[in-house]
Amino acid sequence: MNKLLASTPVAHSPEAQDPAEVARELIRRKQAAGSLIKYAQFIDEKYEPFSVHYSIAEKLQDVEQGRLRRLAIFVPPAIGKSRLSSEIFPSWFFGRNPEMEFIQASYAADLAFGFGRNVRNIIKDDRFRMVFPGVRIAEDAQSMNEWKTSEGGEYKAEGVLGGLIGFHAHIAVIDDPFKSYESALSLNNRRAVWDWYASVLLNRLRPYKDGPGAVILIMQRWHDDDLGGRIEKLNEEGEEYWDIIRLPSLAEADDPLGRAPGEALLPEGPNMRSVEELHAIRARNPSLFMALHQQKPVSDEGDVFQPGWIKKVPESRIPRNMTYYGTSDYALTKGSGDYTVHMIFGIDEEGMIYLVDLYRGQVEIFEGIERACEFMLEYRPLKWFHERVMMGKIVGPLLRKRKAELSCWTVMEDISVIGRGSKDSANRAGAIAGAMQMGIFHVPDNVPWLGDLEHELSRFPNTRYDDQVDCLALLGMKLSKLRSAVGAVEVITGSNKIVPSAFTFDEYVMRNTRARRGVKRRSEGIVVPFPEASPLDDNWGLDTP
């Protein structure tokens, strides 16, 4: 490699003949030959990499070196993934392995052909030959979708579902197997893509560097059952090992790039998206944002909860006259991997349940308690439910002390979960799941936390995080005790109002039980002022039974 580098002229300008400049140029070329990012910057002086690109490039290099055989990278749209993985990487691969074979696939043949044209043009460029001077495009095979190198290597670009008869690959790249959300929603399309991958592409792979041929899948997630989702399941079930990297637009806990939670993926550069812009996109469609930007699509069919059970309503339709309740599930230490979650529920006069606010964070216990008290002071809930074991630990004394300091007098009620199964058991969540199935559970349609909630519900109980489900389950265990809001009914204009009593489900049951036992129900008359009219007026009298 050093001989090849040295045999190529460094530059044509006189000043480039300076020995120090020649040495620096040779070093740049050597670095480009060994580093994908250095190579990208060498062949394209305007190429500006950020941490996401360094992360992707590192994994692509592992594949080229034979250290990885299955790589899946899930990234948001418009971050420059295709430029790096489907144009720059294949040309670098052929520079280092000119005798190898490569297949490039995407959702449309035209898009894949465009990748092929760009890779071919990079290899024809003078800057490529400065790094890999011995590699050329064969004179007799130069079409944009099918071409060969002078060393016998072969490149084939094709659309997903297209034919690959007669072509093979040591490395295959699938760049976005679905065109759109509508395409990924179709079960037939998802099956067709999977069948093409499993029966066509995998059968085209050749052994590579003392192991099987490699597959790279790089895509934005659309659906829980898309190609990425099926590969995730294969990996989780141990059927096939994949190195899976998920790079969300807004960082979450344990971010692969080391970002703080909530930090944007590309806060600067030509493809930048600020935190404010991402929040605005999320507000328009939280569920789709979770898929495209956070790479966490909601499953169509959960084992316990079904996504369609949550009734999403505009915030303007959330009743204002409600009785509020709160629930909490605490993580005792920051960085433990668990979340502290607080939820505020409203019950309207018809018994409908509204999840009106939610806090979720990986915080230390004092901050979690502070957030709970803020909710209590804001909503003045009738009761706040906690798990008894949790309150018997350090949380209870600290919470009571802080409530007293803030004059926060919300009644706290401990709930025993003994005999209700483990924390990830469907037994605990059964009651609230039943309420959702009945259609009485509502959530504002544009709140930022909706996507995370739906994702967790759809994956429960087979999910890493279940803190939100635990909070919901606490409310479910008290469903029969919840008191609806008290409504007011106007009888006659200018008269007193009739205020109907609000009864819990258990109170209604007790009233009916007493009636069956012959206990006379006490009834109260309502006194309404008579209108000023003559006793002889036909419109004055009261109807008699």
**What mean pLDDT is predicted for residues 301-306?**
71
CA angle 84, 63, 89 (to 5 degrees): 25
| Contact indicator for 415, 476 with CB cutoff of 8 Å | no
pTM for this entry: 0.68
Which band of pLDDT confidence, cut at 50, 70 and 90, is reported for residue 376? very high
> What pLDDT shows up at residue 64?
97
Between 182 and 302, residue with greater pLDDT: 182
> What pLDDT shows up at residue 417?
73
Of the candidate ranges 2-16, 94-108, 186-200, 266-280, the one whose mean pLDDT is the lowest: 2-16
Reduced 3-state DSSP string for 475-514: HHCCHHHCCCCCCCEECCCCCCEECCCCCCHHHHHHHHHH
Average pLDDT of the chain is: 84
Looking at residue 520, the DSSP 8-state letter turns out to be: P
Which band of pLDDT confidence, cut at 50, 70 and 90, is reported for residue 481? confident
- Structure confidence by residue, pLDDT tens digits, 197-219: 999 999 999 999 999 999 999 99
- To the nearest 10°, report the CA torsion of 386, 389, 390, 396: 80
**What mean pLDDT is predicted for residues 234-254?**
91
Between 456 and 427, residue with greater pLDDT: 456
| Contact indicator for 369, 347 with CB cutoff of 8 Å | no
Q: Which domains does the chain have, with CATH numbers?
A: 35-292 (3.40.50), 307-481 (3.30.420.240)
- Structure confidence by residue, pLDDT tens digits, 314-364: 988 999 889 999 999 998 777 666 899 999 999 998 889 999 999 999 888
Rounded CA gap, 123 and 258, in Å?
A: 35
Query: Taking the mean position of all CA atoms in its chain, how far away is CA 240?
Result: 23
**What mean pLDDT is predicted for residues 64-71?**
96
Which band of pLDDT confidence, cut at 50, 70 and 90, is reported for residue 373? very high
Report cis status (omega within 30 of 0) of the bond before 461. Answer: yes
Between 494 and 115, residue with greater pLDDT: 115
- Structure confidence by residue, pLDDT tens digits, 127-163: 999 999 989 999 887 788 899 999 999 999 999 999 9
> What pLDDT shows up at residue 515?
65
How many residues are there in the chain?
545
Of the candidate ranges 41-55, 271-285, 417-431, the one whose mean pLDDT is the lowest: 417-431
